[in-house]
Structure 1
């Protein structure tokens, strides 16, 4: 199995037809069919189910498609970095980052870094924290920008300062008379909208204050929390910077006074793995 065969297989998986894949690859259909057959024989598994007009990936085919995509992305990234090196350019730094609130911080750090290392290029991979850590573990990115809480086992980490969580709500939900802060206990019996990653942190903090939170909606993005709160469906709990980034003037925000209900952004990288000089310089700049 080589890179060329993986490219052929990915074309077949993406097109769903060998004829269309051959056209995309600018090659004849019989040689492509033969390459697929050779790949199946080499691996000892059936990768596709052939139908009259299309093909369907088997479970083995789905596994190979996912792995092939990662391998080809890493190959392309390495090729570009080496070409940049030959041209005398400093190189390409691959970074994984969570969306929303960490984006502003990353933008600031990248701008500062770019002022010093103007020849550096960037590849940014976005996703949730679990996705970024997975990319990091597989070597697709060198540095991840994630938000606590996360499992730091096997990672080196540099943390930013802590920031509070805030309650966001439509005006009709405001029981405070315009106060900018609330106590965690004031959320008792309120319908809460929370980002799934913060569920354990929020539940544990509420239980410490003697109540079990009434979770109305659990979701996978702080932006979804804001949208539901804006619609008047409940009270969202998000990091303060996520609200600043959204710039949503229709939603009220109240800082939650709680020592334990805080979160931090961190730059992370794998322990005991090679780290390029570019990544090292970026981390040094991030620490500042």
Structure 2
């Protein structure tokens, strides 16, 4: 059985070809070093070094062992380093679920931050609707999810990481589109807004009540509180599908502000007034209680700074 310390001593002597220099390199005296070499030769059953008062030379067995001993020492050192980094959350892997809309703004910002801070942590990303993420979290198939509230399942914890307003998406040339921002990634025009009540007579592309329940309820309740009843021309489940139908002229739509990052040509975005709270679209981070993945804990620590950065860019909303 090869001993790690014996191999370390052998490599030092083999590289220095001098016992005194090898002992100084290892911060030990020469007699213990000589004993370690003899023990290694006994374990292998062959002489590794030829030494006399004037020189030290490797035997054929020593020349064969040297590169393999270096490899073993390097593997042991790398294993020690990587294990320590995993235990500190600096390496390993984290499985992350996310909704499609979370991928428009928050997730790219988070990934950029995590890759700089934890380059050795592998991110396993899975796009999933919120209900599927809750199932996967409960089954231990995800470390955490970026999803829509509420998170009420037993054994799961969550925190809000993002809140944003709803905005109005209009086809270019629409009567309500004056002063809005085109779908080129620019921000909403300052001071320009459309009252929600102005949509009372409009055809609206709406989120599907089954596949996109969160956004359906959010927009439907906003209309209800405003006392209006628009005509819902189409029902689709994804934000990008909503915008595609708006671009096709099938209606206007109320969407989360992050949808502007999709940069659809032929669409104008305007801010909306008459919606309370001002930032009703929430994104929550959820994880399973008792998850002992150190990398998860490390990534969660970076979420709070991301929230502060988002507020600095857009301004803190009511209730934050």
**Pairwise TM-score range, normalised by the shorter structure:** 0.5 to 0.7
Task: Quote the residue 2:10 is aligned against.
Answer: none
Q: State the distance in 2 between where 1:88 and 1:281 align.
A: 11
User: Does 2:283 match 1:265?
Assistant: yes
Task: Quote the residue 1:234 is aligned against.
Answer: 251
| Counterpart pick for 2:293 among 251, 276, 280 | 276
Contact 1:97 1:127 in 2 (8 A): yes
Contact 1:225 1:237 in 2 (8 A): no
Deviation beyond 4 Å, 4+ runs, structure 1 = 84-89
Superposition deviation, residue 253 in structure 1: 0.7
Mark the CA change 1:150 to 1:174 in structure 2 (over 3 Å): closer, same or farther: farther
Task: Quote the residue 1:150 is aligned against.
Answer: 150
What whole-Å deviation, never above 9, does each CA across 1:215-263 have from its counterpart, x for those lacking one? Answer: 211111000000000000001221011222x111310111112123620
Task: Quote the residue 2:111 is aligned against.
Answer: 110
Q: State the distance in 2 between where 1:142 and 1:97 align.
A: 11
Task: Quote the residue 1:193 is aligned against.
Answer: 205
Q: State the distance in 1 between where 2:137 and 2:106 align.
A: 19
Superposition deviation, residue 278 in structure 1: 0.9
Q: State the distance in 2 between where 1:103 and 1:273 align.
A: 30
Q: State the distance in 2 between where 1:202 and 1:247 align.
A: 22
Contact 1:191 1:235 in 2 (8 A): yes
Q: State the distance in 2 between where 1:129 and 1:86 align.
A: 33
What whole-Å deviation, never above 9, does each CA across 1:168-218 have from its counterpart, x for those lacking one? Answer: 111232335335311111111211112233111212221111123322111
Task: Quote the residue 2:138 is aligned against.
Answer: 137
Q: State the distance in 2 between where 1:146 and 1:102 align.
A: 11
Superposition deviation, residue 150 in structure 1: 3.4
TM-score, normalising length: structure 1: 0.64
Task: Quote the residue 2:231 is aligned against.
Answer: 214
Superposition deviation, residue 142 in structure 1: 0.9
Q: Which one has the largest radius of gyration?
A: 2
Contact 1:102 1:145 in 2 (8 A): no
Contact 1:203 1:213 in 2 (8 A): no
The residue matched to 1:274 in structure 2 has which SS? coil
Task: Quote the residue 1:175 is aligned against.
Answer: 176
Superposition deviation, residue 107 in structure 1: 1.8
Contact 2:104 2:258 in 1 (8 A): no
User: Does 2:268 match 1:256?
Assistant: no
The residue matched to 1:279 in structure 2 has which SS? helix
For the aligned residue pairs, the C-alpha RMSD in angstroms reads 2.5
Stretches of structure 1 lacking an aligned partner (at least 5 in a row): 1-83
Superposition deviation, residue 134 in structure 1: 2.1
The residue matched to 1:91 in structure 2 has which SS? strand
Task: Quote the residue 1:72 is aligned against.
Answer: none
The residue matched to 1:173 in structure 2 has which SS? coil
